[in-house]
A and B are shown apart, each in its own frame.
Chain A
Amino acid sequence: MSTSAVPILEVQAVSRYFGKFQALHNITTRFQAGELTAIIGPNGAGKSTFFNVISGGVAPSSGTVHFEGRDISSMAQHDYARAGIAKSFQITNVFKHLSAQENVRVALQMLTSRYQILRPRAAYGEVSDKADALLVKVGLADSRSKLAGDLAHGQQRSLEVAMALACGPKLLLMDEPTAGMSPQETVVMMDLITQMTAERTIILVEHKMKLVMGLCKRLLVLHHGELLAEGSPDDIRSNAEVKRVYLGQN
């Protein structure tokens, strides 16, 4: 593991309690820029809590999270996008009654015209053009005028990716990007992720281990809220502890 450069994301001794239940135990790890990392683990391992902590959904009970050297442990959710961290949720979160294009356009306008009240949206033509370009990128060009709620599940997830990309993030966090997808949809999403890796750092939480083995250079395994192992897919596969708690189950 190279430790020379400043990591894009550094998690330092993070714990998180919900009441008396400790969902995360003292987790320390770092993510290098440009890497695609997957966080895996069995159900209840603390993956989602970890995801929420690094994406601004919940604050850590103790410990710190640094993004490009800046402490973001207690930053407000809406400041993440502006800082350059975007996320896609495990449960699809799109604006259902708005068109696909409007979904992406709203996400995009954050950069240019956030709280402008008296100028019409139509005056920001370049925002619409960019939204269309993003829809093309995620393969939704044909569905631009459809209501987001009318899109197929896989398409809604792709739409969410387009919305996450809208703020031009350096770091993209994805919580189970293929959850509930058909095999065909999964392939499309995996291709999309591979494509996006070229331009940015991606951390994804994934339940299906096989899926990420071929995709990621580095894996983190969580178990009972603890960091059980981290390393390359081969390291993880040969790790006895991991085999016991995770692979043994399948």
Chain B
Amino acid sequence: MTSFINNTIERIRAHRMAASLLFLLIFPFLMPYETLAINILIFGLYAVGFNLLFGYTGMLSFGHAAFLGVGSYLAGIAVVHAGWPWWAAIGVGVAASCFAGLVIGFLAIRTRGIYFSMVTLALAQIVYYGFYKAERWTGGENGLRGVRVEAITVPGLPGVSIDFLNPLNKYYVILVFVALALWFVSRLLDSPFGAVIEAIRENEKRAAACGYDVARSKLLVFVLSAGICGLAGALRALHLSIVPIDSLHYLQSGQAVMMCLLGGMGTFLGPFIGAAVFLYLEDVVTNVTRYWMGVVGIVFMVFVLFFPKGVWGTTLDWVARWQRKANVNNAAKDQS
């Protein structure tokens, strides 16, 4: 039995893209309702984007709501104020969040540790108030309403029109983008540059002595992380057909940290699993009590204290331990 679980987890690790995709294809049928599945998809992507910076490069940003929010708002503004089609809105959202990442990253990477966290938090708050005050464009406190996308039409394919109001259709349309982004992150982590960012997380001084421009690498990964979170934001705007001002709130930044830690930072699937656990708990617990935050908080504390590597990180540790044991047993058998 354990060997079956071991093998399965090994296979998931080796083919992480195929495994994730397979799982995400059936995912909406495992959830109580499709909208929850869509939320998990979007926040899973948000957490994965955040994890690129936090888990893999070792930079704890407290301001990633800025990128989720900028992606959301700019995609929303493209639809509401400019009347652009859905795909252009996604492009605008991603481009805008990359730009925001470039500016905030440029200023923040000069600092390290807690100072980096504080600078990102402060800059994200500036973004929050900027959008809050630009009521004409953003709807201010009420959020940006009327991001209506009723049908998905693809340029160049005149016959295709998918009903976007149907939640299951919506899930699969969004899944296309999430899957592409996950594929990109997976490739990036496997690439030489993926090795560079891990080296920077491990030891900046040594990475520089090895010939890597630490500041430049950090900025690049910051922008990529922002772009992925911006994509999550843009998809969320289309999904909700409104952009709530909360998207930019620092609590939203905190959520990314929580999701990563719950699932396991520095692992590919961890943040996604963390997002799923977080949102599922929220959904289940709100049906029982209004104090869902308290329950989620307790679960979070239990994880940080007893399973600091998160759901996925802990699972991987267990597998590694089993394998070592199995190897020792086999070696003993060979000798006897």
Are B191 and A77 in contact, with the CB atoms below 8 A?
no
Are B211 and A167 in contact, with the CB atoms below 8 A?
yes
Are A120 and B190 in contact, with the CB atoms below 8 A?
yes
Of chain B, the residue at the smallest CB distance from A124 is: B192
Asked whether any CB of chain B lies closer than 8 Å to the CB of A243, the reply is no
Q: Kindly supply a per-residue 1/0 record for chain A positions 105-116, scoring 1 wherever the CB is within 8 Å of any chain B CB and 0 otherwise.
A: 111011001111
Are B213 and A107 in contact, with the CB atoms below 8 A?
no
- Interface-centre pick from A94, A102, A114, A166 (highest chain B CB count, 10 A): A114
Are A94 and B203 in contact, with the CB atoms below 8 A?
yes
Which of B192, B193, B199, B220 makes the CB contact (< 8 A) with A95? Answer: B199
Q: Is the interface of A mostly helix, strand, loop or mixed?
A: loop
Are B217 and A98 in contact, with the CB atoms below 8 A?
no
Asked whether any CB of chain A lies closer than 8 Å to the CB of B18, the reply is no
Which of A97, A105, A106, A119 makes the CB contact (< 8 A) with B191? Answer: A119
Are B192 and A109 in contact, with the CB atoms below 8 A?
yes
Q: How far is the CB of A20 from chain B (nearest CB, A)?
A: 26
* A109 contacts across to B, CB distance below 8 A: 192, 195
Are A93 and B190 in contact, with the CB atoms below 8 A?
no
Interface members, chain B 165-200 (any A CB < 8 Å): 187-188, 190-196, 198-199
Which of A80, A94, A102, A114 makes the CB contact (< 8 A) with B206? Answer: A94
Are A105 and B195 in contact, with the CB atoms below 8 A?
yes
Are A115 and B196 in contact, with the CB atoms below 8 A?
yes
Measured CB to CB, the residues of A under 8 A from B are 76-82, 86-87, 89, 93-98, 102, 105-107, 109-110, 113-122, 124, 163-164, 166-167
Measured CB to CB, the residues of B under 8 A from A are 187-188, 190-196, 198-199, 202-203, 205-214, 217, 220
User: Given A78-B211, A102-B195, 14 more contacts at CB 8 Å?
Assistant: A77-B209, A78-B209, A80-B209, A82-B211, A93-B205, A106-B198, A106-B207, A110-B212, A113-B192, A114-B211, A117-B191, A118-B191, A122-B190, A167-B211
